[in-house]
Amino acid sequence: MAATTDSVKADASEAPLLNKVNLFAGLMLYLVFYSFIRWYEGIYGWSAGLDSFAPEFETYWMNMLYIELVAEVFIASSLWGWLWKTRDRNVMSITPREELRRHFHHWVWLVMYGWAIYWGASYFTEQDGTWHQTIVRDTDFTPSHIIEFYLSYPIYIITGVASFLYAKTRLPAYSEGLSLMYLVSVLGPFMILPNVGLNEWGHTFWFMEELFVAPLHYGFVFFGWAALAVLGVVNTEVDALTKLLKKDLA
């Protein structure tokens, strides 16, 4: 393409800067999957999820938990392993255009991380409030927890770490050192999952009721603040992209 044209179309043989198929397929994947999960909760929460000693609870909820855990370990190790195994060992030698294309890929990952954070930290966490304020729990592994803690949280963790690994292994801007805010924005929300240990311990030993503002829950709050580190990630990205876009036109 001539440098003098104002056309924004890329060469026919060249891959597009933004792979829109990946972007929309990713968004739809989570939307459709979580819509199915919400349907499952609606059907089997009331019919099979109230008594953890009932056989149907084992069938519909504990088996779901076991499947989730195995699938998450498999997906996390496969995805993270693949990203690391296929890393670019000459990342500093790529062209500016390839670097921009990778930034767009990176932003697809970040969009997916934001989308996964929404489902985990907002949708399924507040949903947990109405479920546990309505029913009386007789187990740590309630229908709400099996979805919230052991499905939606691992999914955003897997997505966030994958996003971080993509940036670290394929973008020159992240190749030297570790972005502090990127680490915080991934590790902080990750720590919400281990904090479940405190939550369950407290609810098991002294607090069966569900008061959402109880100090027992403040660990979740503290680690939720780490989401603000996305501001630092945005700033880092804007700095890198500004450098890429402000050079002389080819």
Partner 1 sequence: MSASQSAVRSRAEAVQVSRTLDWMILFTLFTVILGGYHIHYMLTGGDWDFWADWKDRRLWVTVAPIVSITFPAAVQACLWYRYRLPFGAVVCVLALMIGEWINRYLNFWGWTYFPVNFCFPSNLVPGAILLDVVLMLSGSFVLTAVLGGMAWGLVFYPGNWPIIAPLHVPVEYNGMMFTLADLQGYHYVRTGTPEYIRMVEKGTLRSFGKDVAPVSAFFSAFVSVIIYFLWHFFGRWFSKTDFIDGEGV
Residue 141 C-beta: closest distance to partner 1, Å: 16
C-alpha–C-alpha distance, residues 126 and 122, integer Å:
6
Residue 61 C-beta: closest distance to partner 1, Å: 15
Residue 248 buriedness (CB in 10 A; 0-12 / 13-18 / 19+): exposed
Compare residues 39 and 74 and give the one whose CB is closer to partner 1. Answer: 39
Residue 83 C-beta: closest distance to partner 1, Å: 17
C-alpha–C-alpha distance, residues 80 and 6, integer Å:
40
Residue 67 C-beta: closest distance to partner 1, Å: 22
Which residues, 6+ apart, have CB-to-CB distance to 195 below 8 Å? 219, 220, 223
Please give the helix or strand (H or E) that residue 20 lies within, else none.
Answer: helix 20-48
- Report CA-CA distances (Å) from 156 to 119, 173, 192: 8, 24, 11
Compare residues 55 and 246 and give the one whose CB is closer to partner 1. Answer: 246
Compare residues 81 and 96 and give the one whose CB is closer to partner 1. Answer: 96
Compare residues 86 and 134 and give the one whose CB is closer to partner 1. Answer: 134
